[in-house]
């Protein structure tokens, strides 16, 4: 089964990590071949090429510029005429808004992969609803429940992201070497957040909570993630100024974008991402636990499916006092960190074992191809 995934390609986060994982774990679903098309060259295209799966390049498109949309649609139409795919997947509403009409005209069902948990109020989601996707696959039960509120005529399923659990998260750099490069003592308890520079990821709340812990010695915080857009750079500068204003700038490291995330996580002690709004799933939580880190996050959204009391702590969203209390407890109690760490290492296998989730994804996509509801579409394509 040949599957074409269409995505923008200009950003890099959980969606893009998922797409590269489909290639890395292809052996777990030998009957499914994942291929890709992107509108923008960037880190995703480079990583896919490195993995031996270079994406098809579609013209860069902006919905505010109709001519760019027409060029991108014509290019996809040519690709679908030239190649024979079994399933075409729109990754996120943007791709669906841009290409649903082309996909449907070519005789394929419109399949939308939803990674964000929302209620459909964003203008892109409203436009996406108007395209009437035939099927939506979501990254968690929570995301599926949310999608059902704004895609009432769409068949909705969910599958967790496969995550490799048989690869060591260690790198060529020993933890003490990496710590030294980030001006961090080997005796410090390191709190880390790895995410895009988006305000809903809760960076400011984390810094505010840490400001309440200035009395504790021997902790350092690493904020990992680089600016990918102009707005991200403004946000980063605001965070840096906030840390200075709260008197903790000397204990916070803004590392920028890194390509050694497994090493970063392995050299840290606690993962904290206090989301202000629900995360659809939280792939970064899985990656942190894979490295043995207890996870502290807000008790909302997909995080409640991922983080349990055995491997981390859930705090009320926006509650700085509770967040600071949870972090204080973990920083000062090495035995608690060790217990949560041991359980955290088990959690990725329970939820995201690639041998299970890759087969589930393959079964869902096969179901789209063979669904009786979509026989009319299949007939159009056959003609």
- Please tell me which residue, 174 or 88, carries the higher pLDDT value: 88
66 CB-contact burial (10 Å; exposed 0-12 / middle 13-18 / buried 19+) = exposed
- Please tell me which residue, 371 or 311, carries the higher pLDDT value: 311
Per-residue confidence (pLDDT) for residue 174, from 0 to 100: 85
Across the range 91-116, mean pLDDT stands at 96
- Is pLDDT at 382 greater than 60 in this prediction? no
The residues that bridge with 34 in the sheet, in sequence order, are 3
Whole-structure pTM value? 0.85
**Averaged confidence pLDDT in the chain:** 92
Across the range 353-366, mean pLDDT stands at 96
Per-residue confidence (pLDDT) for residue 363, from 0 to 100: 96
Per-residue confidence (pLDDT) for residue 55, from 0 to 100: 97
Secondary structure class of 80 (helix, strand, coil): helix
What digits encode the pLDDT tens for the residues 262-274?
A: 999 999 999 999 9
Across the range 134-149, mean pLDDT stands at 96
Across the range 52-75, mean pLDDT stands at 97
Q: How far lies 54's CA from each of 4, 41, 114, in Å? A: 12, 11, 23
- Is pLDDT at 373 greater than 80 in this prediction? no
Per-residue confidence (pLDDT) for residue 169, from 0 to 100: 46
What digits encode the pLDDT tens for the residues 309-345?
A: 999 999 999 999 999 999 999 999 999 999 999 999 9
- Is pLDDT at 365 greater than 90 in this prediction? yes
Neighbours of 367 (CB within 10 A): 13
**pLDDT interval class at 371 (50, 70, 90):** low
What digits encode the pLDDT tens for the residues 223-239?
A: 999 888 889 999 999 99
Domains of the chain: 2-162+353-382 (3.40.50.2000), 175-352 (3.40.50.2000)
**pLDDT interval class at 295 (50, 70, 90):** very high
Structure tokens at 243: 């840390």
What digits encode the pLDDT tens for the residues 167-212?
A: 544 455 688 899 999 999 999 999 999 998 999 999 999 999 999 9
Per-residue confidence (pLDDT) for residue 166, from 0 to 100: 53
**pLDDT interval class at 376 (50, 70, 90):** very low
Across the range 132-158, mean pLDDT stands at 96
Q: Where are the alpha helices (DSSP H) in the chain?
A: 14-24, 43-50, 66-82, 92-105, 123-130, 141-150, 175-181, 203-211, 230-245, 261-266, 283-290, 303-306, 320-332, 334-344, 347-352, 354-370, 375-382
The closest alpha carbon to 302, from 341, 352, 362, belongs to 352
Per-residue confidence (pLDDT) for residue 60, from 0 to 100: 96
The closest alpha carbon to 23, from 34, 39, 32, 13, belongs to 34
Per-residue confidence (pLDDT) for residue 173, from 0 to 100: 67
Percent of the chain past pLDDT 70, that is, above it, reads 94
Q: 12-21, 302-311, 370-379: which range is least confident on average?
A: 370-379
**pLDDT interval class at 370 (50, 70, 90):** confident
Q: Is 131 left (phi over 0), alpha (psi -120 to 50) or beta?
A: alpha
| Cβ within 8 Å of residue 153, ≥6 positions away | 132
Q: What gap in Å lies between CA 154 and CA 163, rounded to an integer? A: 27
Q: What gap in Å lies between CA 16 and CA 287, rounded to an integer? A: 14
**pLDDT interval class at 164 (50, 70, 90):** confident
Secondary structure class of 226 (helix, strand, coil): coil
């Amino acid at each position: 089964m040949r599957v074409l995934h269409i995505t923008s390609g200009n950003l890099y986060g959980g969606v893009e990590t998922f797409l590269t994982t489909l290639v890395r774990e292809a052996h777990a679903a030998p009957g499914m071949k994942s291929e890709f098309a992107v509108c923008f060259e960037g880190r995703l295209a480079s990583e896919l090429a490195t993995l031996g799966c270079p994406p098809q390049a579609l013209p860069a498109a902006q919905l505010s510029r109709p001519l760019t949309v027409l060029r991108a649609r014509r290019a996809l139409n040519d690709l679908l005429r030239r190649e024979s795919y079994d399933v075409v997947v729109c990754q996120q509403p943007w791709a669906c808004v841009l290409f649903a009409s082309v996909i449907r005209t070519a005789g394929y069902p419109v399949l939308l992969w939803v990674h964000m948990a929302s209620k459909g109020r964003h203008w892109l989601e409203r436009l996406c609803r108007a395209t009437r996707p035939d099927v939506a696959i979501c990254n968690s039960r929570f995301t599926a429940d949310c999608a059902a509120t704004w895609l009432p005529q769409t068949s909705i399923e969910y599958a967790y992201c496969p995550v490799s659990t048989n690869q060591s998260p260690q790198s060529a750099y020993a933890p003490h070497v990496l710590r030294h490069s980030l001006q961090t003592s080997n005796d410090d308890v390191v709190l880390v957040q790895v995410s895009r520079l988006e305000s809903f990821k809760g960076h400011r709340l984390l810094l505010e909570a840490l400001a309440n812990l200035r009395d504790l010695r021997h902790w350092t915080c690493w904020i990992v993630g680089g600016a990918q857009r102009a707005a991200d750079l403004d946000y980063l500068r605001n965070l840096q100024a906030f840390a200075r204003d709260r008197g903790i700038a000397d204990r916070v490291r803004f590392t920028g974008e890194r390509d050694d995330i497994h090493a970063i996580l392995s050299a840290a002690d606690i993962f904290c991402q206090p989301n202000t709004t629900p995360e659809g799933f939280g792939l970064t939580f899985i990656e942190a636990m894979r490295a043995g880190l207890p996870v502290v996050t807000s008790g909302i959204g997909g995080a409640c499916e991922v983080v349990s009391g055995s491997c981390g702590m859930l705090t009320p969203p926006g509650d700085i006092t509770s967040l600071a209390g949870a972090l204080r407890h973990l920083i000062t109690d090495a035995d608690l960190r060790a217990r949560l760490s041991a359980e955290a290492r088990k959690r990725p296998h329970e939820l995201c074992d690639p041998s299970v989730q890759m087969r589930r994804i393959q079964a869902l996509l096969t179901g789209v191809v063979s669904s009786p509801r979509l026989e009319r579409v299949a007939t159009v394509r056959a003609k």
